[in-house]
Amino acid sequence: MDPVGFNVTLFALIFVALFFDFINGMHDSANAIATVVSTRVLKPFHAVLWAGFFNFAAFFIFEAHVATTVGKGIIAPELIDNAVVFGALAGAIAWNLITWWGGIPSSSSHALVGGIVGASGLLLTQIMCLSMNRSV
């Protein structure tokens, strides 16, 4: 791959990953504070401060077990390429937005795992079909 194409792909991947991160924050934060706001335990402003503080503090307190599992524990790392990453992020973003618009509580981490499994499953299907000289 030429250097220009590599840079465009890299920047596109970074943009899509940051967009997923934004959607993840919007989606999971709403799920996390909905109960305390709807039951009037906390006012919305205080609930957002509470969630922001604990999301930030958790980075320093807990280890990255979920990130490790997502990175190495679902499929073989050598199968992951740019297309799988794009597919996984696109699937997770789509699922997060669908459940958000529908008011359905769901997990962004689970959406990302589903995206990884779906994208890598499609890649493995393509590899198997190519090895049997069939079109996908």
Could you give the angle at which helices 108-131 and 65-72 cross, rounded to 10 degrees? 10
pLDDT value, residue 136: 57
User: Which pLDDT value is given to residue 89?
Assistant: 93
- Give percent of the chain above pLDDT 70: 95
CA 25 to chain centre: 10
Predicted model pTM: 0.74
Compute and round to an integer the Cα radius of gyration of the chain: 18
